[in-house]
Amino acid sequence: MPKNIRGRGITAAYGRQKDRYLELIQEFPLRRIQNDDELADAIHVIDSLIDLDKLTKAEDDYLDILSNLVYEFEKEHIPMGNTPAHEMLAYFMELKELTQAQVSKGAGIAVSTVSELLSGKRKLTRGQIEKLAKFFHTSPAVFLPAVG
């Protein structure tokens, strides 16, 4: 280990929470996602963390890095170029095996609105895009129309 790294170890970063961080790393190591099975596992871990009422700093940092790894895999393997917003919503719901009611509750959008969004009868508002992006842990850009 380099000698010039001062106070940057896991104990310095997380103190008593270091055991939780190491537990998360052992459960699902932070490395490039290689295939759809690993993607599904990563999303399961993400979902289990976001279901917690309050995250520790260790959990929050782990979630942030894992979300980035999912984003990088999806960016490379899942084309999102000109996909309409309602199809992206349907894709995320299918990927996470969610019902309209679950999306409604989690994102804070009325079930009837989710239904209209999925059918293409209604366009997403800025607020809905922000809520869905937060709920699905993705960039709001995936729900925006392509510019070109």
- What contacts 78, CB < 8 A, 6 or more positions away? 91
At 147 the pLDDT is 43
Count of CB atoms situated within 10 Å of the CB of 85:
20
Interatomic CA distance for residues 143 and 140, integer angstroms: 6
CATH 1.10.260.40 applies to domain 85-143: yes
Q: Which of 123, 120, 124, 119 is nearest to 140 (CA)?
A: 124
pLDDT-derived band at 111 (thresholds 50, 70, 90) equals very high
Once rounded to an integer, what is the mean pLDDT over residues 22-48? 91
Instruction: Look at residue 138 and tell me whether its pLDDT is greater than 70.
Output: yes
Interatomic CA distance for residues 88 and 83, integer angstroms: 7
Mean pLDDT value across the chain: 85
Instruction: Look at residue 51 and tell me whether its pLDDT is greater than 50.
Output: yes
Encoded tokens for 131: 């809520």
If you search the block for the tokens 């963390």, which residue do you land on? 49
Count of CB atoms situated within 10 Å of the CB of 135:
19
Predicted TM-score of the model (pTM): 0.56
Query: Per residue in 61-79, pLDDT tens?
Result: 998 899 889 888 887 877 6
Which has the higher per-residue pLDDT, 148 or 60?
60
Once rounded to an integer, what is the mean pLDDT over residues 127-143? 85
Interatomic CA distance for residues 74 and 70, integer angstroms: 6
